[in-house]
Amino acid sequence: MSIITGETPTSVDVGRTVVMEENQRLSASTDHASWDRAALTITSARAIFVIGNGRTGLALQMAAMRLMHLGLQVHVVGEVTAPAIGEGDVLIAGSGSGSTSSVVSAADTARAVRASVIAVTTAPESVLAQKADQVLLLPAADKQDHSGAITRQYAGSLFEQAVLLSFDALFHALWHNADQSAERLWSRHANLG
């Protein structure tokens, strides 16, 4: 299958190859021990809150859903039913640049009430990373990096994909360590609407 855009056809297979290869390379260069430590923080938290904007926020909402399937208390920041964060809770804050104002502000609020903050970012020296108790570094390009040196994909695509895949991997490990059947998780799946 080819998509014709102007003079040069580009195969969807070429795009698929780029996406898969870049994600494999990123995964191989990720500090897996930091994800193991984050998993312990997440599972020992009283409640888990997630925040991110745009596609990063959508990926974190998917992570929140899977953590809920494990039976954990999870909230998406900004939803009308999300309670106040407090001591013993953890905020998972995602921002590729580490400078998204609403995400940094949420980290400030979490710290003020003595909740833990886990930053998910491409920028280890960012404001968000400095405010975090733990940093999950995903070595992808910032969405304003158009050089093509780190990724051939548009904007923050590689980071956003890595957020989803990394949290799916974290969920998978937690699921198997929790010794819960798929049927048990399914019993928590949404059944309204």
How many angstroms separate the Cα of 137 from the Cα of each of 27, 118, 154? Answer: 11, 10, 20
- Main-chain dihedrals φ then ψ at residue 50, nearest 5 degrees: -125, 145
For residue 95 the two structure tokens come to 């921002």
Beta strand 116-121 pairing with 134-137: parallel
Going by C-beta distance under 8 Å and a sequence separation of 6 or more, which residues neighbour residue 31?
Answer: 137
Q: Classify 117 as helix, strand or coil.
A: strand
Q: Is 94 helix (H, G, I), strand (E, B) or coil?
A: strand
Unique residue bearing structure tokens 């956003």: 160
Instruction: Note if 125 is an active site residue.
Output: no
Catalytic residue among 21, 79, 87, 160: 160
**SS3 at position 5:** strand
| Catalytic center residues | 160
